[in-house]
Amino acid sequence: MSAGNAASTEQVFDRVTRRIAPVWPLDSFVAVNPYWGFADRPFAEVAAQLQGTAGERVIMDRRWYADLVQKGKLTLPDILKAAESLDLSTNEEEWRDYLRTSPESPMRLPTLPELMDRHGHASIAQYVVEQISRFLAAYYDRGQSLWSYPKDPKLGLFGSWRQYTIVDRSLGPMGLKAIRPQLLALSPDGAEARRWAQQTLAIPKVAEEAYFLVLLKSVGGWASWCRYLLWQAEMQGGSHQDLVDLLAIRMVWETLLHQTARPKVLERWQQQIQGWIRADKSADLEESRRGEALLCASEIAYRRQVASVIRRQPARPKTGVEATPLVQAAFCIDVRSEVFRRHLEGVMPTLDTIGFAGFFGVLLDYRRQGDFAPRTQTPVLLNPGVHVEEQGPGPIIQRRFRRLRRSAEWKHFKLSAASCFSFVETAGLSYIGRLLADTLGWHRPSLPPDEAGLSAAERASLQCVLPASLSLQERVSMAEFILTGLGLNRGVAPVVLLIGHGSSTTNNPHRAGLDCGACAGQTGEVNAKAAASLLNDPRVREGLVAKGWNLDPNCCFLPALHDTTTDRVEILGGLDEPRLNIEILTELRVALEKAANLTRLERMLRLEPDLQDSQVVARNMGFRARDWSQVRPEWALAGNAAFIAAPRWRTREMNLAGRAFLHDYDVGKDPDFAVLTLIMTAPLVVANWINLQYYGSIVDNQRQGCGNKVLHNVVGGTIGVLEGNGGDLRIGLSEQSLRDSNSGLQHEPLRLSAFIEAPKEQMDEIIEGNETLRQLVDNRWICILQISPEGTIYQRQAVGQWNPI
């Protein structure tokens, strides 16, 4: 192969692997846009490509939309309006006929193992995925397996798989022993193996890239894991070869089967590839464009609902003493905060809430005492710049270590090969108490890592300390960044509450997915504590005042944590501050409890609508957090559809049903648009990831979701889950997080609509200046709308083209 051809081939491999979105491990599970690798292409084109290659659905079936029309939830005028915006036919009768007919499944690219499957025999296609998955689970194990897989770093992923497969005894029962000599003759180098497989398969050039993508998608969960490893390496300026090695493994499997398959199977395989090449792809694209029109019509209907509740002017402008509230409570923009904020403002009119990304502007990582490496507490799109350390009394740290060690030893005893079968007999009747406690929910929920091994008093004594290497000037700059982001340029209240969020669950591998996405799948406790500590620092306060900040000397910043399962808000520290106003604190505590009751009552309507008594509801929510069999402790972010960046008065007292990310933003306090740039390039993109993870998990749960939670088994310690005891690594959200048997879907598949109160020209400039954001907007993965100063809503169509809705 010439140098030019080799370079071209490597470019093909690189493009294929870049189409895969990453998946984060269970202990830092964050929502990911599953179409991230396709953001550079228009939505409808991607839908047609994925449906016509891997058979992956990107748009709901037209029959689903026809049902919405029949129920009156979707109207033909909205469909025609959407069709017009996408340059499609606006003939009403034509659309009626379209909704009445059933869609035809497009031809997709077949892989060789699928054509080798025979009725009544074990599936070759399934075996290939199982064999690769078993190997990868052992290879990447993070401490779950008691017997670790022996790895040779020199071999790499492909070389290790080759070595594993040569001695794999499962080949015989599948009738595949003949591939062993071919594998022995194959180079252990992944790059050479890819080139050999490419030449042997001889896929026509026009279909080659699509075929390789289908192969990688056949082990898409593990491909996403390898993409995560590459993502992490590139964030640190490095690289990682495992993803292309995984592609090599899948290509080599295809090639080995190619050399052992019957001639008739090979002939049929080649015919189907040729048929796919000759097939009219324009029909698939037209079908996807029509599907997008139906999706767009649903979004038009939802935007109209949001536009109807956005205020055109403040209900009652504050003047004089009222201008500065007694308390300002800063919440994460998470949609679950919208419900709590609304009720908290209602029960305490002298309080204002603020919406800001849950990391509170502190780009940090955090290392507990005794940990070998820090963990990220920053949006995964960004690199942490501040290293925060845990600080506390030595005896407490030692006690935590001893408790955690005893717990680990007990677990090892239960699971080890020597004792697992005799455990019940050994434990005997003494274990009945624990079984009853698990069943009746008498114990505490599973503890997050920062609480495990600690009593409440011990936990309160630990602090999150900024590094001593940070100069006073750097600390003051950080404080300015936080205050500016929170919109506290002026009028800071006597008490400012910084409220992170987390969730309480038991026996839930995806518990981190219920915590803060802005804190990389952790609770916001560390970020709230670090920000409050910084802003309470007397030297920092002096530096802020010297730079012109109008801060009341008695102003006190308190960290807190909102538990989104129980809706309890816990104040985490700062109560011993001498400047803290006790009367205000007492009023605040009462308001937090009242707001929690109202929030629980509202959320329970979606969980168990028959429960209406506040005390019964509170007990039920607490039990959900402790119940080891609960598959749905809360609905999390199901239903999310809007992102609103505007002054709070635009939406205050308005019921957005927990479907909107609320980010406070006042353009009058942002003269250089630095905060607007941050909002549009970080929190907005994170919200897009969350939105499209829910979207993808709804429209194709088989490929972008993780199936039935009841069947999940953790693999690799913290890598992810399998559904059942084998198959591909499952990604995305479970069915139980999206729907229930009584009320059906709890998440409506809509792309995110972002309402932002800022000048159109400035938003255009930010979009054009950020390649990631530009692709998401221009290719219709997200919709940008402007709230004008008068309250009129304009939708962005292109640079400089904004149309009123």
Q: Are residues 21 and 155 in the same domain?
A: yes
| Res 427: pLDDT | 63
35 in a domain, yes or no?
A: no
The Cα 324–Cα 343 span in angstroms is: 20
| Res 486: pLDDT | 92
Does the pLDDT value for residue 80 go beyond 60? yes
Does the pLDDT value for residue 719 go beyond 60? yes
The Cα 116–Cα 262 span in angstroms is: 8
650 in a domain, yes or no?
A: yes
The type of residue at 34 is P
Within 10 angstroms of residue 251's Cβ, the number of other Cβ atoms is 25
| Res 434: pLDDT | 62
| Residue finishing a domain among 417, 440, 461 | 461
Q: Are residues 663 and 796 in the same domain?
A: no
Residue-wise pLDDT tens digits, 348-402:
999 999 999 999 988 899 988 777 788 999 999 888 988 988 887 778 777 776 7
| Res 413: pLDDT | 55
Tokens of 706: 């993780």
Residue-wise pLDDT tens digits, 206-239:
999 999 999 999 999 999 999 999 999 999 999 9
| Residue finishing a domain among 225, 253, 276 | 276
186 in a domain, yes or no?
A: yes
Of 52, 58, 59, nearest to 207 by C-alpha is 52
Average pLDDT over residues 305-309: 95
pLDDT category of residue 422 using cuts at 50, 70 and 90: low
Q: Show binding-site residues for Zn(2+).
A: 332, 334, 501, 516
Domain limits for position 774: 759-804
Within 10 angstroms of residue 369's Cβ, the number of other Cβ atoms is 15
Total domains present in the chain: 5
Q: Are residues 467 and 450 in the same domain?
A: no
751 in a domain, yes or no?
A: no
752 in a domain, yes or no?
A: no
Tokens of 482: 């936080």
Of 306, 133, 300, 313, nearest to 225 by C-alpha is 133
Q: Are residues 607 and 656 in the same domain?
A: yes
The Cα 78–Cα 293 span in angstroms is: 9
Q: Are residues 148 and 247 in the same domain?
A: yes
Average pLDDT over residues 540-564: 93
Q: Are 532 and 470 in contact (CB under 8 A)?
A: no
Q: Are residues 497 and 624 in the same domain?
A: yes
The type of residue at 7 is A
Mean pLDDT score of the chain: 91
Q: Are residues 181 and 206 in the same domain?
A: yes
Q: Are residues 402 and 431 in the same domain?
A: yes
Q: Are 776 and 796 in contact (CB under 8 A)?
A: no
The Cα 774–Cα 782 span in angstroms is: 10
| Res 317: pLDDT | 58
231 in a domain, yes or no?
A: yes
Q: Are residues 399 and 388 in the same domain?
A: no
112 in a domain, yes or no?
A: no
754 in a domain, yes or no?
A: no
Q: Are residues 205 and 331 in the same domain?
A: no
End-to-end CA gap in the chain? 57
Q: Are residues 163 and 54 in the same domain?
A: no
Residue-wise pLDDT tens digits, 468-513:
889 999 999 999 999 999 988 778 999 999 999 999 999 999 999 9
| Residue finishing a domain among 723, 745, 767 | 745
Q: Are residues 455 and 478 in the same domain?
A: no
Q: Are 35 and 54 in contact (CB under 8 A)?
A: no
| Res 461: pLDDT | 74
Q: Show binding-site residues.
A: 332, 334, 501, 516
